[in-house]
Structure 1
């Protein structure tokens, strides 16, 4: 896992703070060209159907998925092609900037509840294909729900958090060919296993010392178990056990996952989820998880997801 962290001095901080929003909004980067929507559907499935952007029993991508956090309750935005309430008027580059940089068109830096810092490591090809697939979703006119309990001067706070604590990842030049390395790529930068199963500190910064070791405060508001190959995690699971869980939602003990994990396996709103991803990619995830560093950290049993 490659993370580039920078030291920030006081002068640099005040220069950043004084920077105009126009400079932020121009950070979309170079145009990446058109993508393949069919391949984008696979990326969407491995991204858990972008479940935060679909309300329970709501239309795919129309927004409203709840994300409770210690800093307030956030709601996923409408990412359908509706021109009024969705992203129908956004350019591909603007959508990519939102996904990988956390910069929302016309708003600036988004809340850390949107894990753009993990998505920053998504390959150009995959993010381009994902955008192409989003363009194929049925357009749904549904206004975005305002977040609940946001801190005062929220956008400034989000910029500060991004500056100080958001990790930076370098996108690969192409999807990794090695199965284990490709599994790491999916786990960290698309499926976001690392985001959900890694705890954070009091400011929401990622605890990389407990990478994948589970947390009491998962993205759905509940416990998320340790998925490292330690006995307090999934140390006695086989590669096939992991693939089977991602495909069916059942553990080796024939217990079924609940809540957030059940939704990402099945997909929300009738959209694709992990179970719709190619077998080879699920196996890549499983093989990688069998080889990460085992960490002793008891959080919850698999059935408490």
Structure 2
């Protein structure tokens, strides 16, 4: 439990931060250069102040709606494949991926609680939507590994829009897709601006290939087998030739496929936290769905922002460049 003094300091800081409209009540706050749901600012501060990373830790990082759920399922299955008698007994069949790989800022450090990690075995799997620059120093300074998944911003917008309007929230207000796109253009979106978020992890992945593995959702979809083998290698759980010949990689791909996860009973019912239904994390998972929702003028405006912000970084998205 956080001390009352620290809780008070966090609340005072929250009141002083610049605000922006957000679909999640009570809106967004600008903290350390990025916008995040105001209600979790104290959680982020607690995470930054208290978390002590271990060299064996694996942190899955992403912007919301970038393939986070799929990445969690894949990473969990890879790390735990030898702990199950067979993959048909994998915990993914009974638990939502967000329960198995908990969010630091939404789950572990929520409600002024300090998590007890003593019962967790190594390697520990965690996830976060926080930008690289705002991660606790222990994550940056230790040899723990970060896997970042990135997605075409246009598809993120559409996926996020659907998610927001499906969410089970008492105070949810309906946003149009145009309103969502406009917010992204201004950088006033959860854990945005998206360009800073992506570029932060992209830069470190180029400077230190042992620290950050930068994955693209589109490449993971198009070449899942090789991308998953790369993921397994990076997090320290490479597939042996014997495992490959036994079809273990393909078993994991089948287990973690969008179609399979979506049809599991645990992902059809129940909620992740009080307000997000498990089924809301499994809509389409397609590449290029933005063409069905965004107007030509909005696409033009978004592409201009993407080009201006990512120009010269080496980070591009073929689907809309």
TM-score (norm 1): 0.29
TM-score (norm 2): 0.28
More strand by share: 2
More helix by share: 2
